[in-house]
Structure 1
Amino acid sequence: MPGVDGGSERGDIRMFSVLLIGLGGFLGAIFRYGVSVWFKRISSYPWGTLCVNLSGSFFLGGILSLPPSVITKYLMGIGFLGAFTTFSTFKWETLQMIRNNSWKISAIYLGVSYMGGVFLAWVGWVIFEKTIAK
């Protein structure tokens, strides 16, 4: 079906999805930067990365319990949480700990990040499903 500009409705929807991802990514990156800067004032340990990855896991679990929509999928899930959480920084910081022979701390960091992330995704899913998704 032609749109107002001669394009298809499907093309318009695709462009809207891309714009939502871009807006969410912009906001997520700014929030991540703010959290990282705040935590760096407190400690040299990568608390900021741990915080964004664990809270991002919680909210992603929550989003998955909501009815599917372009807002939850593109703006919040792919856009905001995709930019807010950071797998590459997490790996880099873990590598730095290993290079500094901080084996015990790096093992704890890996365990808390992975297991805590999965656990908090489940907690977010349960909480959102029981409170918001009803």
Structure 2
Amino acid sequence: MTLLLVAVGAAVGAPLRYVVDRLVQARLGSRFPWGTLLVNVAGSFVLGVVLGSTAGDGVRSLVGMGFSGALTTYSTFSYETLRLTEDGAWRRAAANVCLSVGAGLAAAALGWVVAA
């Protein structure tokens, strides 16, 4: 049952990540990966809420592991940061790392506090 809940959550999170990323990037037209940053921070917040709450294992599997796990993307974050460095945009790459890690941790902590 847990595997099914994770799969269902991921089936919603992954396409949502793609759509949000494309919409944000199209709207901003920036070389900075704002879309990936947004989904990673949002997913960190959702995960903080779920893990800080009294939600049962089913909700944790569906929303925490499935949805949040598929919504967020470490691989795309890594790839986009690498591309920025390859393009010589060292400051953007450093900003991406600092913002992604710092904002992600802050969002998870905020979610935890909100849920508690």
Q: TM-score, normalised by structure 2?
A: 0.93
- 1:50 is aligned to 37
Cα RMSD, aligned residues only = 1.0
Going by fraction, where is helix more abundant, 1 or 2? 2
Q: Count the aligned residue pairs.
A: 114
**Structure 1 unaligned spans of 5+:** 1-15, 130-134
For residues 55 and 23 of structure 2, what CA distance do their matches in structure 1 show?
33
Equivalent residue for 2:3, pick from 18, 25, 29? 18
Asked whether 1:102 is paired with 2:89, we answer yes
Q: TM-score, normalised by structure 1?
A: 0.81
For residues 83 and 55 of structure 2, what CA distance do their matches in structure 1 show?
39
Instruction: Give the fraction of aligned pairs with identical amino acids, expressed as a percent.
Output: 39
Relative contact order, higher structure (CA 8 A, sep 6+): 2
Offset, 1:103:
0.6
Asked whether 1:87 is paired with 2:65, we answer no
Task: Report the AA paired with residue 7 of structure 2.
Answer: G
- 1:29 is aligned to 14
